Amino acid sequence: MQTFKETGLPEEILSAIGELGYETPTPIQSKTIPEILNYGNDLIALAQTGTGKTGAFGLPVIPQVKTEEKNVQALILCPTRELCLQITKDLQKYAKNYRDLYVTPVYGGTEIRTQIKALKRGSHIVVGTPGRMNDLINRKAIELGNVRWLILDEADEMLNMGFKDDIEAIMAQTPEWRQTLLFSATMPAEISRISKKYMQDPIEISVGTKNSGSENVEHHFYMVQAHDRYKALKRVVDVIPDVYGIIFCRTRQETKDIADKLMADGYNADALHGDLSQAQRDMVMHRFRKKHLQLLVATDVAARGIDVNDLTHVINYNLPDDIEAYIHRSGRTGRAGKNGVSVAIIHSREMHRIKAIEKLAKKKFERKMVPKSEEICEKQLFHFLDRVGKTELEEASPVNALLPSVYEKLAAMEKEDLIKQFVAAEFNRFMEYYKDAPDLNIYKEERGKRGERGERGGRGERGGRGDASFSRLFLNLGKTDKLTSGDVIGLINSNMRGVTVKVGKIELLRNFSFVEVDKEYEQEVIDKLNRSKLKGKKVNLEVASPKPSGRKERRRRN
């Protein structure tokens, strides 16, 4: 097994990482460190999240920085504030024996003038998000003409988040003789295009297979009706008493809703989404890292930069629209040599998406049955008893003084009765909740009875105004935009390819409209249509407010 010393790193770095407890490089570090130390070709490194990518570029770059030159020599771009700060923190640890080397993080959501002052004092390595970096360039607050290393960390995610133009504008400010190091978990076509345009004969290093999932992660899925998804989530969580994981949702609103429901139902959970202030976000993450929270409910964007190595589970409350995003999600568990489980809760129409992920990630999903009440209660009971058995009672504990009275009070009870009462007192509420709980699983026979599309009908079928199977949505376009019912149906058809969505009543009003869609696909229709344009306008689709009774409907404006 190779050691860090064999990679060619100098003693100053070896001493620093030795104090951190690092002895042997990860596979991606073994392959990249010698290449970067030799300041050779540009490099494309493909590896999953949690495989030591910061060390892969940071350890060889730090000893090559010329600290006597007071200019930016290494620029690291990453998608989020959290990742920016995490990279900075790691680099500062690696560089502890280089006292004159300065690393500066720059990111949005905080005062830019403070960051400009830090840059003016001098910085050798700058870690930044693309948007803030472009702001600094436009203000002429940073000079990139001496950058020797341009590093794109989580490049695929930056592109997914819409930073393509920012990245290209930043790259144009750096010298052509720089060494460009691109680190990514997946290899989408856009990264290939950037590499051809901006990189010089790049060497490609891959740990594992392109776009593949981690070897340490098992992939499970549960199939339920869409309206049973939250009930299934609770059962999956309940059957894993020691769960410590992230629940991924598609939208901010869904993230808020699911987190609120979990907290109201007594779960140790909280949400992470874009509407939180930075102070709120930091507080949530602090509690999660300290394991004061068991479950973090988050969107893909909000979860970028989360650096937690011992997550047991990643739960996909909804599968991501982009299949490659699933690989990023699942890579949050099974890190640092530990095993993990990635769970997907799907409805009956999403099996084709599981197959597509299996093909891309080259991983087989195992179908699991949503736990029934007996299994959940048994798991929770034995988990509780294990905790009781492992509880240590110190001699100085105040409990000891109370034990004689406790023994006296319970002396009349037989051992078996005492155990029954003990279990009942702890679990009556839990068992009552799951008493007569229905089976949530969808079975193949049920799908076969109605066929692939059978009883639900096709697009264009109209439902009644009060049909409970429909969700009524507000659309920001109306007759003044020359909108027709055909336009609305066409918009749904073009954005929901491969899925049959039943459309109900369409009401075209002067400045806006209402459309009824199959309730099962409510959120998916909103998510996909809100990324589109119609009649030259950006579509805004949301769940409509309930109709006022007895008077003409009016949409309130905030």
For residues 265 and 102, which has the higher predicted lDDT (pLDDT)?
102
pTM beyond 0.95: the answer is no
Same domain, 461 and 426: no
**Would 422 be classed as within a structural domain?**
yes
The pLDDT confidence band at residue 155, using thresholds 50, 70 and 90, is confident
Predicted local distance difference test score (pLDDT) of residue 163:
85
**Would 444 be classed as within a structural domain?**
no
User: What is the enclosing helix (H) or strand (E) of 295?
Assistant: strand 295-298
Of the ranges 277-286, 383-392, 422-431, which is most confident? 277-286
Structure tokens belonging to residue 35: 């290449």
User: What is the enclosing helix (H) or strand (E) of 46?
Assistant: strand 43-46
Predicted local distance difference test score (pLDDT) of residue 67:
92
Percent of the chain with pLDDT over 70: 88
Q: Taking the C-alpha atoms of 7, 8, 12 and 18 in order, what is their torsion angle to the nearest 10 degrees? A: 20
**Would 19 be classed as within a structural domain?**
yes
Q: Give which of 178, 148, 181 is closest to 78, Cα–Cα.
A: 181
| Single residue among 165, 185, 206 that ends a domain in this structure | 206
**Would 552 be classed as within a structural domain?**
no
Same domain, 231 and 102: no
Residue 318: domain span: 217-372
Alpha helices in 331-372 (DSSP H): 351-361
> If you ran DSSP here, which 8-state letter would residue 218 be given?
E
Same domain, 461 and 422: no
State the average pLDDT over residues 9-28: 89
Predicted local distance difference test score (pLDDT) of residue 320:
82
CATH code for the domain in which residue 504 is found: 3.30.70.330
Predicted local distance difference test score (pLDDT) of residue 455:
34
Predicted local distance difference test score (pLDDT) of residue 444:
59
Same domain, 145 and 74: yes
Q: For 335-352, what is each residue's pLDDT tens digit?
A: 767 788 999 999 877 888
| Single residue among 149, 184, 206 that ends a domain in this structure | 206
Same domain, 289 and 322: yes
Same domain, 167 and 51: yes
**Would 536 be classed as within a structural domain?**
yes
Is residue 159 predicted with pLDDT exceeding 70?
yes
Same domain, 359 and 423: no
Structure tokens belonging to residue 211: 């776009």
d(CA 137, CA 132): 9
Same domain, 426 and 483: no
**Would 221 be classed as within a structural domain?**
yes
For residues 376 and 298, which has the higher predicted lDDT (pLDDT)?
298
Residue recorded with tokens 């295009």? 193
Same domain, 468 and 367: no
Predicted local distance difference test score (pLDDT) of residue 185:
76
Predicted local distance difference test score (pLDDT) of residue 46:
85
Predicted local distance difference test score (pLDDT) of residue 546:
62
Q: For 49-87, what is each residue's pLDDT tens digit?
A: 667 889 999 999 999 999 999 899 999 999 888 889 889
**Would 442 be classed as within a structural domain?**
no
Same domain, 290 and 351: yes
Structure tokens belonging to residue 476: 């920001």
Same domain, 378 and 430: yes
Same domain, 177 and 77: yes
Domain count of the fold of the chain: 4
Q: For 481-498, what is each residue's pLDDT tens digit?
A: 888 888 888 888 878 766
**Would 439 be classed as within a structural domain?**
no
For residues 1 and 439, which has the higher predicted lDDT (pLDDT)?
439
3-class DSSP state of 49: coil
State the average pLDDT over residues 10-28: 89
Of the ranges 206-210, 324-328, 493-497, 532-536, which is most confident? 532-536
| Single residue among 206, 233, 249 that ends a domain in this structure | 206
State the average pLDDT over residues 451-469: 41
CATH code for the domain in which residue 163 is found: 3.40.50.300
